[in-house]
């Protein structure tokens, strides 16, 4: 299974685990990972909440 796709012609990054897509590929490759990290944190929190119910 794919984890992440880096599509350079479209400037797009997709994290398939959490259905996150960003068109800021250059910024992400330059180290600006805040959007990716935030999306991963939200997905983790949602998973933890779902496990508690």
- Structure tokens of 51? 């496990």
Write down the residue that tokens 């999306």 correspond to: 39
**pTM here?**
0.84
* pLDDT over 90 (residue 53): no
Tell me how many domains the chain contains: 1
pLDDT tens string 14-39: 999 999 999 999 999 999 999 999 99
The DSSP secondary structure of 9-49, one letter per residue, reads: TTTEEEETTTTEEES-HHHHHTT--HHHHHHHHHHHHHHHH
* Mean of the per-residue pLDDT values of the chain: 97
Range of the domain at 25: 4-52
């Amino acid at each position: 299974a794919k984890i992440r796709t880096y599509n350079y012609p479209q400037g797009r990054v997709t994290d398939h685990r959490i259905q996150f897509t960003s068109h800021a590929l250059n910024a992400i490759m330059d180290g600006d990972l805040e959007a990716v990290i935030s999306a991963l944190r939200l997905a983790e929190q949602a998973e933890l909440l779902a496990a508690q119910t």
